[in-house]
Amino acid sequence: MAQIFSRNANVYARVTTFGIVVLICGVGWATNEVFWSPYTTYVDVPLTQPVPFSHKHHVAEDGIDCRYCHTSVEKSRFAGMPTSETCMHCHSQIFTDVPLLAPVRESLATNAPLKWNRVHDLPDYVYFDHSIHVAKGIGCSTCHGRVDQMPITWRVNTLYMKWCLDCHRHPQKFVRPPDKVFAMTWQPSQDRQLEPTQLVRQYHIDTSGRLTNCSTCHR
Amino acid sequence: MISLSIRTSLYPLCFCGFLFLCACRHDMMNEPRAKTFSQSEFFKDGASARPLPANVVPRGEAQVNDAFHIGMTNGVYVTQLPMQLTPKLLARGRERFEAICAECHGRTGDGNGMVVQRGFPVPPSYHLDRMRNAPLGHFFDVITNGYGAMFPYAAQVEPQDRWAIAAYIRALQLSQHANPNDLPPDVRNKLEAESK
């Protein structure tokens, strides 16, 4: 009777068994890498902008407060983008003829807004409100990073759900005293005159689990 | 035969891979609705944000109180705050002043802020006699409508905050012309002890 399996069958069987495991792991690993890489998350990817605005210059070197331009951050969902007129508060007098600022001057002259590229864009099924986070002691740099060190703006956090939940589960790791919300250099380890849990209580942050309800963010 | 079984087992695998790709659509991430300041193909100017129609007044912001909204009564600057002066108001004024005004006017109000050091025209110091004698409504008016090289800040600072800032400017002025005899005795004694 003829043999059903050829001489090489054992090798084929081993190679395919091993190969499938490697393939599945490999695909899983590659997907994971792509999913968490800047290619998907845009973390650390500076975007091209109509004007190469430097937060580093305006915040760190000029000492301009976040709220000078992002005026609605304390009272609305949206932090607010400065109008071209806001730029002109200073640039009507200084650097008035720099070519880099030509788009701003043109925008003011023609009353057409500058078309900035959004650095942080949440999916539309997520509800987010700046004002409540600022009011409850979450500082700018907790989510936006050291913007004062960015010559052009990029994203430092994925803004993925996992990342949001880390804070919604453990707010005590991130809350700051009210006067430090706009401070760029503040670190969680610093300035612990008030215990973090005490701060959480002071801000009346709900720790009963309501912050991690689906409908808190997906409403 | 072996190769056939490999092939048949590959089909479900490929199908699973195909299912993976199905999740790559972004329809729910970018719904066809206008987000704040997003572009719009619907409106001619390309912006989803619509300009306010002429003469509309936001709810609750009707300028019915001259003293509060323009800092004048019958065309004359008011000299008193149109609200009660509280430590809270002053603290708010300080916070706003340091966020919005100190860039040019400096934290002490001497007109030597960082932007001025970069070449912006020097604003007058708050500690000049003419500024100390200026009525309070003048400061409110300047924040609202601008003055000289200073643009109007009405869009950035709400009326309530403009008064808080005006009150804080008064506090700054006092700080540079403070009389030791006005201090509470314990603070004065401490100061005298330290200066010896």
Return per-residue pLDDT of chain B as tens, 196 residues. 556 666 677 787 777 777 766 666 677 888 888 888 888 888 888 888 888 899 898 888 788 888 999 899 988 999 999 999 999 999 999 999 999 999 999 999 999 999 999 999 999 999 999 999 999 999 999 999 999 999 999 989 999 999 999 999 999 999 998 888 888 888 888 888 887 7
Contact A68 B156 (CB under 8 A): yes
How near does any CA of chain A get to the CA of B196, in Å? Answer: 33
The interaxial angle of helices B2-22 and A9-36, nearest 10 deg, is 10
CA triple B105-B151-A83, angle to 5 deg: 115
Distance CA A65, CA B97 (A): 10
In this prediction, residue A109 carries a pLDDT of 93
The domain tally of chain A equals: 2
Contact across the interface for A125 and B39, Cβ inside 8 Å:
no
**Residue A155: beta bridge partners?**
A43
Is A74 found in the same domain as A4?
Answer: no
Residues A139 and A204 in one domain: yes
Chain B CA closest to residue A24: B13
User: 């108001």: which residue's tokens?
Assistant: B89
- Residue matched to tokens 């993925």: A160
Q: Are A64 and A71 in contact (CB under 8 A)?
A: no
- pLDDT tens over chain A, length 219 residues: 677 888 888 899 999 999 999 999 999 999 999 989 998 888 988 889 999 999 999 999 999 999 999 999 999 999 999 999 999 999 999 999 999 999 999 999 998 889 999 999 899 999 999 999 999 999 999 999 999 999 999 999 999 999 999 999 999 889 999 989 999 988 877 656 667 788 899 999 998 989 999 999 998
Domain annotation covers residue A61: no
Partner residue opposite A68 with nearest CB, options B28, B29, B99: B99
pLDDT score of B183: 86
Q: pLDDT value at position B2?
A: 54
Contact criterion met (CB < 8 Å) for A65 and B31 = no
The reply to whether A25 and A75 lie within a common domain is no
Q: What is the pLDDT of residue B196?
A: 75
What pLDDT shows up at residue B99? 94
Q: Which domain does A166 fall in, by range? A: 70-81+120-217
Q: Among all residues of chain B, which has the CA nearest to that of A64?
A: B103
Domains in chain B: boundaries: 66-185
Here the tokens at position A213 are 């309800």
Residue of B39, B103, B119 with shortest CB distance to A68: B103
Cα distance between residue B125 and residue B109, in whole Å: 6
Cβ pair A124:B31 closer than 8 A: yes
* Cβ–Cβ below 8 Å for B119 and A124: no
Using an 8 Å CB-CB cutoff, list chain B residues near A88: 151
B69, B63 in Cβ contact below 8 A? yes
A207 & A133 share domain:
yes
Residue B31 half-sphere exposure toward CB, CA atoms < 13 A? 9
Residue A112 is predicted with a pLDDT of 87
Closest residue, chain B, to A13 (C-alpha): B2
CATH number for the domain formed by residue range(s) B66-185: 1.10.760.10
Q: Is the CB of A124 less than 8 angstroms away from the CB of B98?
A: no
Give the gap in angstroms from C-alpha A109 to the nearest C-alpha of chain B.
15
- Same domain, residue pair A152 and A205: yes
Burial class (CB in 10 A: 0-12, 13-18, 19+), B181: exposed
Closest CA of chain B from A89, distance in Å: 6
Q: Which of B6, B33, B119 sits opposite A124 (nearest CB)?
A: B33
Taking the CA atoms of A73, A145, A119 and A172 in sequence, report the sign of the dihedral they define: negative
- Check B119 against A78: CB less than 8 A apart: no
Cα gap B181→A47, rounded to integer Å:
59
Mutate to test the interface with B, among A124, A127, A130 (most CBs of B within 10 A): A124
Query: Which residues lie across from A43 on neighbouring strands?
Result: A155
Q: Which amino acid is at A10?
A: N
Please provide the size of chain A in residues. 219
Say if residue A13 is in the same domain as residue A76: no
Of B2, B120, B155, the CB nearest to A90: B120
Neighbours of B148 (CB within 10 A): 9
Q: Do A143 and A198 have their domain in common?
A: yes
> Within a domain: residue A11?
yes
Task: Please indicate, yes or no, if residue A133 is contained in any of the structural domains.
Answer: yes
Task: Please give the pLDDT value at position B23.
Answer: 62
**Main-chain dihedrals φ then ψ at residue B134, nearest 5 degrees:** -65, 140
CB contact under 8 A, A94 and B151: no
Among A185, A173, A189, residue whose Cα is nearest residue A137: A173
